[in-house]
């Protein structure tokens, strides 16, 4: 997949509100400090003029942000979770927002869940992947910040998480916003998922 056009088209704070476009959606989720905004900017080729805001205060984003890509699909940036300094009532609101959105019949066709390769999965990470499995929504696990690991340690970590989550190895993508590693692999995986959405009878 080549990125030609990217356009911010709207933000929702109500999971039941109408979407800003009817194109297929792919949502990006993860902890507040996992590097999600940097990843989105990297895969969309927006490293100079950033389209996803990298906040100095993790946990700041409290809405669903929609970006139209190539006039083909919507990339949806979900609010981060798990940041310790966020009040409990705010965390509860985010949970309702995200789960309400994910459960919509017209919601995302796939979810890219980010995990810092250096950190152990949190209960929230496990719950997210379990929830997606219950909904039957395809998921990709992207391991961010892999430039911090040697090649051998990175491969070892991928094997560990494949086993821990019971995933197919093709569902796990090592990624680095710093080096660009994993960008083409992730875009290719997204292209394959969207092709399945367009031809469900043939998939």
- Return the ∠ at Cα 62 (arms to 37 and 140), rounded to 5°: 45
All domains of the chain in start order, with CATH: 6-195 (3.40.50.300)
- Tell me how crowded residue 5 is: count the other CB atoms within 10 A of its CB: 10
Q: Which pLDDT does position 69 carry in this prediction?
A: 94
Residue from 153, 171, 190, 199 nearest 76 by CA: 190
pLDDT at residue 87, as a whole number: 59
pLDDT digits (tens, 9 = 90+) for 94-115: 788 899 999 999 999 999 999 9
Q: Is 10 exposed, middle or buried (0-12, 13-18, 19+ CB in 10 A)?
A: middle
According to the model, what pLDDT value does residue 62 have?
75
Q: SS3 for 15?
A: coil
Which residues on neighbouring strands pair with residue 109, listed in sequence order? none
The span from the CA of 64 to the CA of 79, in Å, is: 7
pLDDT at 156: 93
Q: Which residue ranges in the chain fall short of pLDDT 70?
A: 47-61, 82-92, 198-203
Give CA–CA dist 201/157, Å, rounded.
36
pTM of the model: 0.87
How far is it, in rounded angstroms, from Cα 8 to Cα 203?
A: 30
């Amino acid at each position: 997949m080549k990125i030609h056009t990217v356009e911010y088209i709207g933000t929702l704070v109500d999971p039941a509100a109408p979407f800003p476009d009817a194109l297929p959606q792919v949502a990006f989720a993860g902890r507040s400090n996992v590097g999600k905004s940097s990843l989105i900017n990297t895969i969309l080729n927006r490293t100079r003029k950033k389209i996803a805001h990298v906040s100095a205060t993790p946990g700041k984003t409290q809405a669903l942000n929609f970006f139209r890509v190539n006039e083909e699909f919507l990339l949806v940036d979900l609010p981060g979770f798990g940041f310790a300094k966020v009040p409990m009532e705010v965390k509860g609101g985010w949970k309702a927002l995200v789960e309400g959105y994910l459960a919509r019949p017209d919601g995302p066709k796939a979810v890219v869940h980010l995990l810092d390769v250096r950190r152990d999965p949190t209960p929230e990470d496990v719950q997210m992947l379990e929830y997606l499995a219950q909904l039957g929504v395809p998921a990709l696990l992207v391991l961010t910040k892999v430039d911090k690991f040697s090649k051998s340690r990175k491969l070892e970590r991928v094997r560990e998480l494949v086993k821990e989550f019971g995933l197919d190895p093709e569902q796990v993508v090592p990624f680095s916003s710093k080096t660009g590693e994993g960008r083409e692999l992730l875009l290719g995986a997204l292209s394959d998922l969207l092709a399945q959405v367009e031809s469900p009878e043939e998939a």
